Amino acid sequence: MDMTILNVALPEMAAELHLTSVSQLWVVDAYALALAGLLVPITALGDRWGRKRMLITGYAVFAAGSVAVLWADSAAAVIVIRALLGIGGAMVMPSTLSLIRSIFADPRERTLALSVWGATAALGAAVGPVVGGALLEAFSWHAAFLVNVPLMLVAIAAAAWLLRENRSPRPGRIDAAGILLSAGGMTAFVYAAKQLGKHGPSLPTLALLVVGGLALAVFVRTALASDRPMLDVRLFGNPVLRAGVVAALASSAAMVAVLFVGSQWLQLVEGWSPLESGIALLPLALGAMIASPFAPALAARTSPRIVLTGGLLVLSAGLGLLAVVPATYPWIAVAFTVVGLGTSALGLGSALIMGTATDDQAGSAAAVEEITYELGAVLGITFLGSLVGAVYRAALPDGASATVRESVAGAVGGPSFDDAADAFVLAFASVGAVGAVLTALAAYAVWRLVPADLSLDDAHH
């Protein structure tokens, strides 16, 4: 929810704090960079220190960061707060997965629990713009942060009351070199990928991408050589885990790209308010909410392979619809719903990732899953977002001004708005078409990776 609320609040925040375009990007990216960089070391620490304790601490950090925004009066302050929220997120997300893995011993119950977990994430992403739009119509941009505080207080109380403490029987060794390689490598890689999407390839960006990749490669080598690694990369030897990763990556990338481009289309081309746009995006969540709880039962009756591949094919069909239906709202809502239905396989993908892990490896599997989600979101916006820009600019008439070429926002209210709107609609359709092809390829990969005779009970140690 926090990820998507910010998109709605950003314009007002930028105006009040006089944010440059660069500092706006940092406000958005600081969260993802802190989260991605710290997932591995924080998860390893949670395995040792206690996952419940880490979860509650994460909630508290999130609440504290959200309150601190009341004193934020500069770009730097907001960026630091966003990074702090990212640290809280890195404490919360893998802990929830590790705890679900340990609390639900029965494979079918666990799969249902993870599906509910996945559906809740989809609901949060889609409700964010609605809650954000409603809050901004009544209050200042600070409300987009403060909304977290009551949620976190409830979460802290509930976690303290309901959960029992859980640790890894053999926690990985936490060493400075490992922290530096994993955090540095992930942060460099994610930052470079984001820069590639925004500004295209340049020598410094490509160099940073290579440095990030090399650091991660060295981290993997040291992890393979260790008997108690910080992140158990041996998990990737299991084709079922790889299938879960492919499914989560594809679903996450598609969902984020559609939310990102869809909200731009609704606000800039159709001229809807942030609140109206938020409500118009709800079919994405509704599809996921409806289908997620049924995925495990369907997988138990047929097979995880059929349901996971089928979900990705439905997702591919929904993206394909975005490319072919008329760009008017009732039609786009149908496509959104189908995309949402397709992402329901996410919970099943999570169940496959978490199920391949032993109790020792639960933290590592949770970190892998969360990194996959984050990377999916980054890559979705980086590559599909830059595709939007490229198609949009290519479709504009030759005489378009620099501000119009920069983005469709530059054309709103101007004489060339119709041309710009048509170009953006074409760009939106191209994201659907390319997304459909990529998701269909992911479905094929999953079909090849998951054994035909795998049942939900086999997928779990």
Mean pLDDT over 312-318 rounds to 96
Q: What percent of the chain has pLDDT over 90?
A: 46
Amino acid code (one letter) for 73: D
The residue among 353 and 312 whose pLDDT is bigger is: 312
- Asked which of 2-16, 257-271, 377-391, 435-449 is least confident by mean pLDDT, the reply is 2-16
Mean pLDDT over 436-444 rounds to 96
Mean pLDDT over 25-47 rounds to 89
pLDDT of residue 461 exceeding 60, the answer is no
Q: Among candidates 71, 106, 85, which has minimal Cα distance to 3? A: 85
Q: What is the chain's mean pLDDT, rounded?
A: 89
Mean pLDDT over 362-387 rounds to 87
Q: Among candidates 235, 239, 233, 241, which has minimal Cα distance to 352? A: 241
CATH architecture, range 2-173+226-449: Up-down Bundle (1.20)
What pLDDT is stored for residue 154 in this prediction? 97
Mean pLDDT over 35-45 rounds to 92
What pLDDT is stored for residue 42 in this prediction? 94
Q: Among candidates 158, 152, 178, which has minimal Cα distance to 99? A: 158
pLDDT of residue 404 exceeding 90, the answer is no
DSSP letters of 95-142? Answer: HHHHHHHHH--SHHHHHHHHHHHHHHHHHHHHHHHHHHHHHHHHS-TT
pLDDT of residue 2 exceeding 80, the answer is no
What pLDDT is stored for residue 39 in this prediction? 92
pLDDT of residue 56 exceeding 60, the answer is yes
pLDDT, tens digit, 9 for 90 and up, residues 203-257? 999 999 999 999 999 999 999 999 899 999 999 999 999 999 999 899 889 888 8
pLDDT of residue 4 exceeding 80, the answer is no
What pLDDT is stored for residue 44 in this prediction? 93
DSSP letters of 285-297? Answer: HHHHHHHTTHHHH
Tokens linked to 342: 């397709």
pLDDT of residue 131 exceeding 90, the answer is no
Q: What interhelical angle do 21-49 and 75-103 show, nearest 10?
A: 30
How confident is residue 43, by pLDDT bands cut at 50, 70 and 90?
A: very high
What pLDDT is stored for residue 164 in this prediction? 92
How confident is residue 459, by pLDDT bands cut at 50, 70 and 90?
A: low
**Rounded to the nearest 10 degrees, how much is the dihedral formed by the CA atoms of 223, 229, 234, 236?**
-80
pLDDT of residue 436 exceeding 90, the answer is yes
How far, in Å, are 63, 142, 159, 364, 421 from residue 96 at the CA level? 17, 27, 10, 13, 42
What pLDDT is stored for residue 243 in this prediction? 93
pLDDT of residue 290 exceeding 60, the answer is yes
- Asked which of 139-153, 202-216, 299-313, 397-411 is least confident by mean pLDDT, the reply is 397-411
Check: CB of residue 311 under 8 Å from CB of residue 254.
no
What pLDDT is stored for residue 378 in this prediction? 82
How confident is residue 138, by pLDDT bands cut at 50, 70 and 90?
A: confident
How confident is residue 322, by pLDDT bands cut at 50, 70 and 90?
A: very high
What pLDDT is stored for residue 62 in this prediction? 95
Residue 61 to residue 53: CA distance in whole angstroms? 12
How confident is residue 196, by pLDDT bands cut at 50, 70 and 90?
A: confident
Residue 244 to residue 353: CA distance in whole angstroms? 5
- Asked which of 73-77, 118-122, 216-220 is least confident by mean pLDDT, the reply is 118-122
pTM here? Answer: 0.88
